[in-house]
Each structure stands twice: as structure tokens, then as C-alpha cells.
């Protein structure tokens, strides 16, 4: 569900693994969960589905990845607990343990397609969307992080950065859209060339404005 009412969508990725008898579908949803707040709200939620998982399919508490933290500069998102704004005094933060710069320049956000809704204040999700442009791989799961959750010998067949996703909130099931119909054929035959979509991708965060609005 790319428009989770509690999560401002930032990015997503789909991966399909399979062999003759087993299959796994992974959808990563990077976003900002305002209920958790601060760095705890910046998450990559790993949604696993398949017939060879060591846990129940769907969302599990141990399948969340967190990549950010404060640097020695101080609180990235303001002194208040669960502040929803970037701290204007902060110049850096940690991303997977590496110190990266924090920009407050409006042009930085404009150049990355981000419209600041309450400028000069910068919402946390606006900030994460902006830096994801430069550090996308740092928010997505490493292959070894995926492999500790699925069979290590299961081949990766298909990986998509863009696809047409069903609108689950509107009652549209995955089975009625060509994306997942084609992925089912890919998994059945083990042939990624069977994925030949005709619908334009819609998984970009701009297409899911209701995310985080509850």
C-alpha cells in the first residue's frame, strides 16, 4: 500500500525471487512514519510475500530498516520530541554511520522536485525525499539484509525501480493489474522477459498524495 495514511512515501522497489518450486516477492517502501517520529520514523518497510518464508507474509516488526541518526551536531529534527521539522541549526547527520551534509537552502529542494509546504520550515519527509535523490542506495536494503530473511540460494529474477501499482485503498487488488499478472508469469516460468508492461509506472511518491494524511 503506497498511500499508507501514516507514512509519507519517499521511494519504493520491487524484487522477485524464484526457482522451480519456491518464490518470494519483496516490496520495499521507504517513507516517513510520523507516528514514530524523528529518526525512528524514517524507515524502509520490507513487505515479503511467498511460499518459502520463515515468517508470516506481509509486515513484520523485524522487517523494518533504519538508516539515519544524529551526528555530533545535535538533534537533526529539533529539540522537541517527534518534531516534524528539520532543525535549522543542524549542518550534518549520520546515514548508515556516515556523516552527510544537511541543507537548508530552498534551491536544494527545488532542484530535486520538492515544494516546501511551510517554507522556510522544512518537513522531515520533504528533507528525506530530497536527500533520497542523492543517497537512494543507502535507504534501500542491501542484498545481504534481504538474504538473511529469505533462502540464500533463491535466485533473483526481476528487480523494478518503477512499476504500476494497484490502488489498494480504492479496493483495487494486485490480481487485477497487469504488473502482478506479469510478475506471476515471470515467477512461474523463471523468465524475466515475460514482464512487458504497457501501463505507465505510478509508484513515485507524487502519485500517492494521501500518504501520511491521516
How does pLDDT run across 111-148, given as a tens digit for each residue?
999 999 999 999 999 999 999 999 999 999 999 999 99
* Pairing outcome for strands 92-95 and 98-101: antiparallel
User: b/e string for 137-174 if b means 16 or more Cβ within 10 A?
Assistant: ebbbbeeeebeebbeeebebbbebeebbbbbeeeeeee
Cell (9 digits) for 200? 505507465
Q: What is the pLDDT of residue 163?
A: 98
| Phi and psi torsions of 137, nearest 5° | -60, -25
List of residues 6+ apart from 56 with CB closer than 8 A: none
Name residue 160's beta-bridge partners.
14
What is the distance between the alpha carbons of residues 24 and 61, in angstroms, rounded to a whole number? 18
pLDDT < 70: residue spans in the chain: 81-82
DSSP string for residues in 55-81: S-SB--GGGEE--EEEBTTB-TT-SST
Percent of the chain topping pLDDT 70: 99
List of residues 6+ apart from 171 with CB closer than 8 A: none
| Phi and psi torsions of 65, nearest 5° | -115, 140
Q: What is the pLDDT of residue 80?
A: 72
What is the distance between the alpha carbons of residues 28 and 59, in angstroms, rounded to a whole number? 11
Output the pTM of the full model: 0.95
Q: How does DSSP classify residue 207? A: G
Amino acid at each position: 500500500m503506497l498511500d499508507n495514511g501514516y507514512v509519507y512515501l519517499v521511494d519504493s522497489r520491487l524484487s522477485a525471487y524464484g526457482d522451480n518450486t519456491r518464490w518470494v516477492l519483496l516490496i520495499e517502501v521507504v517513507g516517513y512514519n510520523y507516528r514514530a517520529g524523528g529518526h525512528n520514523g524514517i524507515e524502509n518497510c520490507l513487505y515479503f510475500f511467498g511460499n518459502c518464508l520463515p515468517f508470516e507474509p506481509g509486515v513484520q516488526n523485524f522487517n523494518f530498516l533504519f538508516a539515519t541518526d544524529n551526528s555530533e551536531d545535535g538533534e537533526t529534527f529539533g529539540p522537541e520530541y517527534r518534531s516534524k521539522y528539520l532543525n535549522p541549526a543542524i549542518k550534518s547527520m549520520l546515514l548508515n554511520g556516515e556523516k552527510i551534509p544537511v541543507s537548508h537552502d530552498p534551491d536544494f529542494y527545488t532542484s530535486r522536485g520538492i515544494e516546501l509546504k511551510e517554507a522556510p520550515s522544512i518537513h522531515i519527509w520533504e528533507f528525506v525525499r530530497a536527500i533520497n535523490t542523492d543517497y537512494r542506495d543507502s535507504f534501500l536494503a542491501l542484498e545481504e539484509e534481504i538474504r538473511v530473511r529469505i533462502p540464500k540460494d533463491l535466485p533473483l529474477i526481476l528487480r523494478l525501480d518503477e512499476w504500476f501499482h494497484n490502488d489498494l485503498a480504492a479496493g483495487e487488488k494486485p490480481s487485477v493489474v497487469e504488473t502482478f499478472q506479469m510478475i506471476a508469469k515471470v515467477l512461474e516460468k523463471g523468465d524475466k522477459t515475460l514482464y512487458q508492461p504497457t501501463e505507465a509506472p505510478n509508484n513515485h511518491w507524487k502519485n500517492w498524495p494521501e500518504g501520511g494524511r491521516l
